[in-house]
């Protein structure tokens, strides 16, 4: 009986130790990732994207797909990389901002130059964060 109790205590201690070390290894410090948004890209995001794609948005679908504020401090590196790929894809297909939104807010439309700036940034950031 003493051996069983001793074994149980050792096993429990080992599990606790492994659990704490795993959490520490999986936690990503946002300060250490390579995610950066240049001023010119941030200006485009602020004008045409952030209104629907942020944690406080009333647009449930938009904030579920992407939350720009979580890109900076919330998403883990692998999720940021995936989101950058999605950003690149929707911009290349000219799906964002959506036509229905642009009908109400034509000033939010991206120019071809702005779209290309965003695509290039997403590609470069994906590459940088994948290193």
pLDDT in tens, 68-100: 999 988 889 999 999 999 999 999 999 999 999
**Looking at the domain assignment, is residue 20 inside a domain?**
no
**Looking at the domain assignment, is residue 14 inside a domain?**
no
Check: CB of residue 23 under 8 Å from CB of residue 76.
Answer: no
Give the span between the Cα atoms of 10 and 91, in whole angstroms: 55
What is the residue range of 82's domain?
A: 31-130
**Looking at the domain assignment, is residue 9 inside a domain?**
no
Number of domains in the chain: 1
Q: What is the pTM of this model?
A: 0.73
Give the span between the Cα atoms of 66 and 53, in whole angstroms: 6
**Looking at the domain assignment, is residue 69 inside a domain?**
yes
Average pLDDT over residues 3-10: 65
């Amino acid at each position: 009986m003493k051996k069983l109790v001793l074994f149980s205590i050792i096993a429990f201690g080992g599990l606790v130790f492994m659990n704490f070390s795993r959490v520490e290894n999986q936690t990503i410090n946002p300060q250490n990732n390579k995610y950066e948004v240049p001023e010119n890209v941030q200006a485009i995001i602020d004008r045409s994207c952030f209104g629907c794609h942020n944690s406080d948005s009333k647009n449930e679908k938009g904030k579920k797909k992407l939350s720009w504020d979580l890109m900076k401090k919330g998403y883990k590196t692998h999720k940021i990389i995936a989101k950058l790929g999605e950003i690149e894809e929707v911009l290349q297909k000219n799906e964002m901002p959506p036509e229905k939104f642009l009908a109400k807010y034509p000033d939010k439309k991206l120019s071809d130059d702005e779209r290309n700036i965003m695509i290039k940034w997403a590609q470069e950031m994906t590459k940088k964060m994948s290193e």
